[in-house]
Amino acid sequence: MLSSNDGVVWFAFAGLAVPVVVPTAFVVGVVVWRLLPSEHPFFGPVAGLLGTLGTYVASLLVVALILTVSAALGLSGAEPASAAAFSFGVVYLAFAVSWWVTFPVGAVSGSVYTAAVRGSE
């Protein structure tokens, strides 16, 4: 996607993702933790993995919506189909680069959270 291996460019792309990914992850996490039955024996790791996967999917929808609508309104100078394809490419690249760390972190965070909640009861 990027022709440069310049760390500043990669850092800028990651920084621009934060305002989309963090609120999306919060909303997805709340939905997953509310809908998944807590009696499941591996509730924490499963909820963490589903939350992580859901964050990728929801982030794709949010990024696609923002870029496609801005293109349709003529704010970006791109065609809406190109904006949608670009948003898919960006999220696919993010997934390809980070899945190996986000899935284990999601599973471990879910486990730690359920242990903390059970410990406080």
Q: What is the pLDDT of residues 24-56, one digit of tens each?
A: 999 999 999 899 888 888 999 999 999 999 999
**pLDDT computed for residue 48 by the predictor:** 94
User: In one letter, which amino acid is 31?
Assistant: V
Q: Name every residue whose Cβ is closer than 8 Å to that of residue 58 and which is 6 or more positions away in sequence.
A: 24, 27, 28
Residue pair 102/50 in contact (Cβ under 8 Å)? The answer is no
Phi, psi dihedral angles at 73 (to 5 degrees): -85, 0
Asked if residue 4 has pLDDT above 60, the reply is no
Asked if residue 5 has pLDDT above 70, the reply is no
Query: What is the number of other CB atoms lying within 10 angstroms of the CB of residue 86?
Result: 18
Q: What is the mean pLDDT of residues 65-74?
A: 89
Asked if residue 8 has pLDDT above 60, the reply is yes
**pLDDT computed for residue 41 by the predictor:** 81
Query: What is the number of other CB atoms lying within 10 angstroms of the CB of residue 120?
Result: 6
**pLDDT computed for residue 7 by the predictor:** 65
- State the helix-helix crossing angle for 7-35 and 43-72, rounded to 10 degrees: 120
Of 87, 76, 94, which Cα lies nearest the Cα of 10?
A: 94
pLDDT, one tens digit per residue, over 80-113 is 999 889 889 888 988 998 999 999 999 999 999 8
Q: Round to whole Å and give the CA distance between 29 and 23.
A: 10
Torsion of CA 31, 34, 40, 42, to 10 degrees: 50
Q: Round to whole Å and give the CA distance between 9 and 16.
A: 11
pTM here is 0.82
Confidence category of residue 9, pLDDT binned at 50, 70, 90: low
User: In one letter, which amino acid is 44?
Assistant: G
